[in-house]
Amino acid sequence: MTLLQTHNLSAFYGDFQALFGVDVTIEQGETVAVIGANGAGKTTFLRTVAGALAAAPEAVLFDGKPIGNMTPHEIVRLGIAMVPEGRRLFPSLSVEENLLLGSHSERRGPWSLQRVYELFPRLRELRRLPAPSLSGGQQQMAAVGRALMSNPRLLLCDELSLGLAPVVIRDIYACLGAITAEGTTVVLVEQDINRALDASSRFYCLQEGHLALTAPTKDFDRAALTAAYFGL
Ligand SMILES: Nc1ncnc2c1ncn2[C@@H]1O[C@H](COP(=O)(O)OP(=O)(O)OP(=O)(O)O)[C@@H](O)[C@H]1O
Ligand SMILES: [Mg+2]
């Protein structure tokens, strides 16, 4: 069953066009990577799906329903959550208060404070601390936990690995299995291409706002990916 579909999706910042007619289809339960060079439009793609950037209503279909013109709040309530680039935790709030912010959509499902703390036991120990006192990796866990607290059907992850040590990245990626085991569909945007391809079954490669290549991650032409990535 198709969970997310974009059809001829375009996105603008004022007069600047950042996405050009992007067609993506993501099936329920899949983990899909979106890769591309700096400025290719990866974050813009996630922001249009999450409602932070307006699109034509029919350009984004979630569970068959047009959501392109919905607000971020409405979209979270439908079951789409984003882990934003740079984590964006609220610095004046504790770790636990940040997590609880994610539950405001009041969606029912498997995720609760208890389950998030089981997934990331360190967060339970650190729960009363202000978010900025955590390490980068711990903040990333809190950002993932906050998104899970809305019990999303679709989890959008923007650069989970950015700025983190390899051992920390491995720990965070190791948790993806527990998340997808709940039936959650995941879109991974990554600078670390190999990490993204390892963790997904299919990828889309964007190049200067255009969809340049899509293929299964188990069987694809490396030369075609290099060309699609760098625009050679
Ligand atoms: N707020 C904004 N205002 C104007 N232009 C923007 C804005 N955000 C992004 N852009 C432009 O839109 C294009 C796509 O940017 P986007 O952030 O989606 O790329 P990206 O693939 O996520 O890149 P990165 O790997 O650097 O995160 C770029 O040319 C960028 O300069
Ligand atoms: Mg980005």
Domains of the chain: 2-230 (3.40.50.300)
Using CA of residue 13, residue 86, residue 78, residue 173, what is the dihedral sign?
positive
Q: Which of 1, 46, 3, 11 is nearest to 204 (CA)?
A: 46
Mutate to test the pocket of ligand 1, among 9, 15, 16 (most ligand atoms within 8 A of CB): 16
Residue 71 CA to residue 59 CA, distance in Å, equals 15
Category of 82 on φ-ψ map: left (φ > 0), alpha (ψ -120 to 50) or beta: beta
Closest ligand by atom to 84 CA: 2
Residue 109 CA to residue 187 CA, distance in Å, equals 19
- 34 within ligand 1 shell (Cβ under 6 A): no
Please report, in angstroms and rounded to a whole number, the separation of the first and last CA atoms in the chain.
Answer: 35
At 29 the three-state DSSP class reads coil
- 42 within ligand 1 shell (Cβ under 6 A): yes
Tally Cβ neighbours within 10 Å of residue 217.
Answer: 16
Residue nearest to atom 6 of ligand 1 (CA): 13
CA of 47 to the centre of ligand 2 (A): 10
Query: What number does the ligand 1 atom closest to the CA of 45 have?
Result: 18
- 15 within ligand 1 shell (Cβ under 6 A): no
Q: pLDDT tens, position by position, for the chain (232 residues)?
A: 999 999 999 999 999 999 999 999 999 999 999 999 999 999 999 999 999 999 999 999 999 999 999 999 999 999 999 999 988 999 999 999 999 999 988 789 999 999 999 999 999 999 999 999 999 999 999 999 999 999 999 999 999 999 999 999 999 999 999 999 999 999 999 988 899 999 999 999 999 999 999 999 998 999 999 999 998 7
